[in-house]
Amino acid sequence: MAQDRDPSRLRSQRWFAAEGMRAFSHRQRMQQMGFRRDELVGRPVIGILNTWSDLSPCHAHLRERAEQVKRGIWRAGGAAVELPALSLGEVIVKPTTMLYRNMLAMEAEELLRSHPLDGAILMGGCDKTTPGLVMGALSMDIPVLFMPAGPMLNGYWRGEKVGAGTHTRRFWDELQSGGITQADWSEIESVSTRSPGTCNTMGTASTMTSIVEALGLTLPGAAAIPAMDAAHKRMASMCGERIVEMVWEDLKPTAIVTPQSVQNAIVALCALGGSTNAVIHLVAIAQRAGLSLDLDAFDRTAREVPVLANLMPAGNHLMEDLFFAGGVPAVLSRVREKLDLDCMTVSGKRLGETLEGARVFDDDVIRPLDRPVSGKPPLAILRGNLAPEGAVIKPSAASPKLLKHRGRAVVFDHAGDLYKRIEDPALPIDETSVLVLRNAGPIGGPGMPEWGNLPIPKRLLERGVRDMVRLSDARMSGTHFGTCVLHISPEAAVGGPLALVRDGDEIVLDLDGRRLDLLVGEEELARRRAEWKPPEPHYTRGYGAIFQSHIQQAHQGCDFDVLRPTGKATPEPDIY
Can you give the binding site for ligand FES, defined by CB under 6 A?
A: 58, 90-91, 126-127, 164, 198-199, 203, 205
Which is closer to ligand FES, CB of 245 or CB of 321?
A: 321
In angstroms, what CA-CA distances link 390 with 11, 247, 280, 379, 575? 43, 40, 12, 13, 47
DSSP characters over 227-239: TTSHHHHHHHHHH
Which is closer to ligand FES, CB of 275 or CB of 301?
A: 275
In angstroms, what CA-CA distances link 149 with 75, 89, 130, 198, 271? 22, 12, 10, 7, 22
Q: Comparing C-alpha atoms, which of 335, 337, 264 is closest to residue 306? A: 335
Which is closer to ligand FES, CB of 70 or CB of 480?
A: 480
**Torsion (CA) 59, 63, 65, 66 in degrees, nearest 10:** 120
Q: Comparing C-alpha atoms, which of 188, 99, 171, 75 is closest to residue 466? A: 171
Sign of the dihedral through C-alpha 468, 418, 384, 300: negative
* Coil, strand or helix at 447: coil
CB of 196 to ligand FES, least distance (A): 10
Which is closer to ligand FES, CB of 164 or CB of 239?
A: 164
CB of 100 to ligand FES, least distance (A): 14
DSSP state of 144: E
Give the separation between CA 554 and CA 400, rounded to whole angstroms.
26
CB of 447 to ligand FES, least distance (A): 16
Conformational region of residue 356, where left means phi above 0, alpha means psi within -120 to 50, and beta covers everything else: beta
* Phi, psi (degrees; rounded to nearest 5) at 189: -55, -35
CB of 104 to ligand FES, least distance (A): 14
Which is closer to ligand FES, CB of 53 or CB of 354?
A: 53
Which is closer to ligand FES, CB of 68 or CB of 198?
A: 198
Which is closer to ligand FES, CB of 345 or CB of 479?
A: 479
Which is closer to ligand FES, CB of 88 or CB of 355?
A: 88
Give the separation between CA 316 and CA 303, rounded to whole angstroms.
22
Which is closer to ligand FES, CB of 198 or CB of 552?
A: 198
559 contact partners, CB below 8 Å, separation of at least 6: 102, 105, 135, 284, 287, 288, 552
Which is closer to ligand FES, CB of 198 or CB of 374?
A: 198
CB of 556 to ligand FES, least distance (A): 25
* Phi, psi (degrees; rounded to nearest 5) at 219: -65, 150
CB of 253 to ligand FES, least distance (A): 23
DSSP state of 379: -
CB of 93 to ligand FES, least distance (A): 10
CB of 89 to ligand FES, least distance (A): 6
What is the Rg, in whole angstroms, of the alpha carbon atoms belonging to the chain?
A: 24
Give the separation between CA 258 and CA 574, rounded to whole angstroms.
30
**Under a CB-based contact definition with an 8 Å cutoff, are residues 134 and 212 in contact?**
yes
Which is closer to ligand FES, CB of 207 or CB of 472?
A: 207
Which is closer to ligand FES, CB of 58 or CB of 271?
A: 58
Which is closer to ligand FES, CB of 90 or CB of 229?
A: 90
Q: How many helices (H) and strands (E) does the chain have?
A: 20, 14
* Coil, strand or helix at 118: coil
**Torsion (CA) 173, 174, 175, 180 in degrees, nearest 10:** -170
Buried b (16+ CB within 10 A) or exposed e, 457-472: beebbeeeeebbbbbb
**Under a CB-based contact definition with an 8 Å cutoff, are residues 155 and 178 in contact?**
no
Which is closer to ligand FES, CB of 246 or CB of 328?
A: 328
Which is closer to ligand FES, CB of 51 or CB of 347?
A: 51
* Phi, psi (degrees; rounded to nearest 5) at 460: -80, -35
CB of 563 to ligand FES, least distance (A): 24
Give the separation between CA 507 and CA 27, rounded to whole angstroms.
66
Q: 13-22 — which CB contacts under 8 Å span 24+ positions?
A: 13/41, 13/42, 14/116, 14/575, 15/116, 15/575, 16/40, 16/41, 16/45, 16/116, 17/41, 17/42, 18/575, 22/575, 22/576
